[in-house]
Structure 1
């Protein structure tokens, strides 16, 4: 995990720490997120191929206070490939609760744990749930969080398949290793391990998917060009998923395999509601429709499902219980 000292905010000569933060040019990052959102939407509509388009829903966090920020929630439902897809941005301001401040401080963010601090946040997030059980669910985000004179980047991209195809897993991880290696040789192994730790359901003793990369609390300036790395992550999300789509979308599947997909989606929702920090933070006062838009459209639960030994379903569960290195 990154050291908070290694990636501390570096002072701009003759400037205060706050001016150093301002040099990040939040307006530029916001413009980048808006442009990236539109690029992802266009690519997703092309991959879907149904002719359906994303619904665009722009909202104000507080209609009575335009300075509180806004978001744009974009959703496509009922496509040929995309049973449900959401590509969202949010640009918000607020005040940290004591609980949130304490949680952030416990991860090494030097902000104090009393709450009451003003913050700003800019984020892009997406979730693609495929109509085809052989095409994995894609989740990704990039974000910038600022409190006073401190700022941190976070983000990542991970894959949640219902059926394991080693070729897809290896290619997905190789893609993200190349992206990370362009910014630092330590990034991929750390981000991969962080992803495996984060997307874990302790009550089930299994991981949500086959991982990818994940990072949080990456301070904004230092030896690593944090903003450049985050921008690279954002522009590589769709290319990391396209090969799996191309190989799997035309495969035949059975009703039993579709039902297994719905059962695995139940685990997906369990993680979001019980363990995901972003969802829990949003539920403190965010827009519920935009928070829950990541939920799969159809889900199934059955009591004590145990896959048959040696089956493809059992093969997936082995990896989910013990993550592998795919390099």
Structure 2
């Protein structure tokens, strides 16, 4: 199984990097095009790019990636687009969690793993422009391999037509892979992005999936690529539509409170945050998703 997946690992890793490049270019172009309206007198935002490394227990190469963060732009207050390809051996806690959640036997005997993916979170200057999250990933062990990811919208000021438009694009990219896919993965997102201690959802949903391993790797990879392709098509029109909407101090306050909810979810419940910190990945890259400012009432 190891040799069989060498080419597939390389293809998946290259796709995530390509998607990263597309998104970074599109976001910087959005900054350049903000020539009137709020904050247009500021310099257009640019991504600061730094390499990240995963720390291994024995000092051996354990992979890494690129962390790309834009702060204080005309449109984006903070946005991070990270890609990584990491590998090595899972520690005891990660092995136990993997075995318990995935039901994978043999992890204690052979705890090797390989994981690659892209993770994005955008927090916006204008409270009327929704925050957004997207990630897709491939995970491999000698015992099983799978894809996961999703995309969800997190407005602090909700517009029903924006929610409908975002979901429509997700559905359009899911339907070619099976008409049951969108409703199933939408329901999964509604369940996954729920904040139990607040009794509410983090945002207005999207799609979420994990453990995607149908036995047809090519089909699973093609679906994961379409989830990535859907992102800019779903999100950029909403940014374009709302970025020049005037806002009030009350709107900004609403945004900061909602960001507090977002931070709570990511620190308490998000699996990616827990996995990244437990496996020794760069903490700054793992916590990139946190908003630049937030408040609690």
TM-score higher than 0.5: yes
Q: Give the whole-Å Cα distance in 1 for the aligned partners of 2:142 and 2:54.
A: 21
> Which residue of 2 is the match for residue 87 of structure 1?
81
8 Å Cα contact 1:158/1:212 also seen in 2 = yes
Which has the larger share of helix? 2
Q: Give the whole-Å Cα distance in 1 for the aligned partners of 2:237 and 2:21.
A: 21
> Which residue of 2 is the match for residue 102 of structure 1?
96
> Which residue of 2 is the match for residue 247 of structure 1?
241
1:221 aligns with 2:221: no
Structure 1 stretch displaced more, 277-286 or 173-182: 277-286
The residue correspondences of 1:102-251 to structure 2 (distance < 5 A) are 102-112=96-106, 114=108, 117-219=111-213, 221-222=215-216, 225-251=219-245
Decide whether aligned partners of structure 1 residues 70 and 113 sit closer, same or farther in structure 2, where only a CA change above 3 A counts. Answer: closer
1:21 aligns with 2:5: yes
Cα distance, 1:60 vs structure 2: 2.8
Q: Give the whole-Å Cα distance in 2 for the aligned partners of 1:96 and 1:123.
A: 17
Q: Give the whole-Å Cα distance in 1 for the aligned partners of 2:143 and 2:95.
A: 15
Q: Give the whole-Å Cα distance in 2 for the aligned partners of 1:209 and 1:137.
A: 9
8 Å Cα contact 2:105/2:143 also seen in 1 = no
Cα distance, 1:59 vs structure 2: 2.6
8 Å Cα contact 1:102/1:115 also seen in 2 = no
Aligned residue among 2, 8, 18 for 1:35: 18
Cα distance, 1:185 vs structure 2: 1.1
Over aligned residues, Cα RMSD in angstroms? 2.0
Q: Give the whole-Å Cα distance in 2 for the aligned partners of 1:258 and 1:286.
A: 33
Q: Give the whole-Å Cα distance in 2 for the aligned partners of 1:115 and 1:243.
A: 49
What is the SS of the residue equivalent to 1:40?
Answer: helix
Decide whether aligned partners of structure 1 residues 206 and 279 sit closer, same or farther in structure 2, where only a CA change above 3 A counts. Answer: same
What is the SS of the residue equivalent to 1:204?
Answer: coil
Q: Give the whole-Å Cα distance in 1 for the aligned partners of 2:109 and 2:132.
A: 34
1:243-282 C-alpha deviation (Å, 9 max, x unpaired): 2112211111110110010000000000000000110111
After TM superposition, the runs of 4+ consecutive aligned structure 1 residues lying more than 6 A away are none
Q: Give the whole-Å Cα distance in 2 for the aligned partners of 1:85 and 1:136.
A: 12
What is the SS of the residue equivalent to 1:182?
Answer: helix
> Which residue of 2 is the match for residue 70 of structure 1?
64
Decide whether aligned partners of structure 1 residues 224 and 72 sit closer, same or farther in structure 2, where only a CA change above 3 A counts. Answer: closer
Q: TM-score if structure 1 supplies the norm length?
A: 0.82
Q: Give the whole-Å Cα distance in 2 for the aligned partners of 1:60 and 1:107.
A: 26
8 Å Cα contact 2:45/2:76 also seen in 1 = no
Q: Give ranges in structure 2 of 5+ residues lacking alignment.
A: 33-42
8 Å Cα contact 1:99/1:115 also seen in 2 = no
Aligned residue pair count: 285
1:290 aligns with 2:285: yes
What is the SS of the residue equivalent to 1:140?
Answer: strand
1:189-218 C-alpha deviation (Å, 9 max, x unpaired): 111011011111111111100000000111
Q: Give ranges in structure 1 of 5+ residues lacking alignment.
A: 1-16, 303-327
> Which residue of 2 is the match for residue 321 of structure 1?
none
> Which residue of 1 is the match for residue 49 of structure 2?
56
Q: Give the whole-Å Cα distance in 2 for the aligned partners of 1:286 and 1:116.
A: 20
Q: Give the whole-Å Cα distance in 2 for the aligned partners of 1:223 and 1:293.
A: 30
